[in-house]
Amino acid sequence: MRRFSQRNSLVTLSDINITPLLDLAFVLLIIFVITTPLLEKSIDLKLPHGGQTEKKLDKSDIRTVEISNTGYYVLDKKPMRLPQLIAQLANSFRANPNLVVYIRADKDCRYDQVAQVLDGCQKYGIARYSLRTDPTPK
């Protein structure tokens, strides 16, 4: 009997199939394109109309407080309770005396929620704050 060599049956692959790798790359790209706008969005607010646009400020001098109609407070896209928020603003003001607090309150929120933020700002000497609105359409 004759023995057959195993060497003839071995075949080396000289190319790599990149189709699954491209499929994975496209799926990841689609996922990032869809989720990125959702990550940047803060709480959904309906600002009252009025006021006008203002001059540009340095972004490092601005802290944005958002108040939803349900009493939900957000400071620079981080949810927190009111005492925590006021403490953070006080620390920021001590570090940066040019601090400007933007207060974005939903048009249906209770006024005392806005007043509590204003009182906290005044308590720690933060005199520069701005109640944000949507500019009046022309």
Q: Mention every residue, 6+ apart, whose C-beta is less than 8 A from residue 18.
A: none
Beta strands 73-75 and 78-79, pairing class: antiparallel
Average pLDDT, the chain: 80
Q: Mention every residue, 6+ apart, whose C-beta is less than 8 A from residue 19.
A: none
Q: Domains of the chain, with CATH numbers?
A: 1-138 (3.30.420.270)
Helix and strand counts by DSSP (H, E) for the chain: 3, 5
What number of other Cβ atoms are within 10 A of residue 41's Cβ? 8
CB 130 within 8 A of CB 55: no
Is the pLDDT confidence value at 52 over 70? Answer: no
DSSP code for 104: E
pLDDT one-digit tens code per residue, 112-121: 888 999 898 8
Residue whose pair of structure tokens reads 């005492």 in the numeric block: 83
Proportion of the chain above pLDDT 90, given as a percent? 11
Question: Which pLDDT band holds residue 4 (cuts at 50, 70, 90)?
Answer: low
Is the pLDDT confidence value at 66 over 80? Answer: yes
- Give the three-state DSSP class for 38: helix
Residue 126: exposure state from Cβ atoms within 10 A (0-12, 13-18, ≥19): buried
CB 62 within 8 A of CB 102: yes
What is the value of pTM for the model shown? 0.59
